[in-house]
Amino acid sequence: MTTEVIVSLVTLIVLEIVLGIDNIIFISILTDKLPKENRKKARTLGLSLALISRLVLLAGISWIMKLDQTLFTISGNEISGKDLILILGGLFLLYKSNKEIFENTEEHDIHTPNVAKSFRKIIGQIILLDLVFSVDSIITAVGLVDELWVMYVAVIVSISIMLSVSGAISNFINEHPSLKILALCFLIMVGIALMAEGLGFHIPKGYIYFSMAFSFFVNIIQIRKKA
Tell me which of 94 and 224 has the higher pLDDT.
Answer: 94
Burial of 33 (0-12, 13-18, 19+ CB in 10 A): buried
Is the per-residue pLDDT at 24 higher than 70?
yes
Range of the domain at 187: 3-226
Query: Any idea which of 28-42, 100-114, 137-151 has the lowest mean pLDDT?
Result: 100-114
> What percentage of the chain reaches a pLDDT higher than 70?
88
Paired with 72 in beta bridges are 79
Angle among Cα 143, 148, 153 to the nearest 5 degrees reads: 105
Model pTM? 0.69
> Structural domain tally of the chain?
1
**Nearest Cα to Cα of residue 188 among 92, 105, 83, 121:** 92
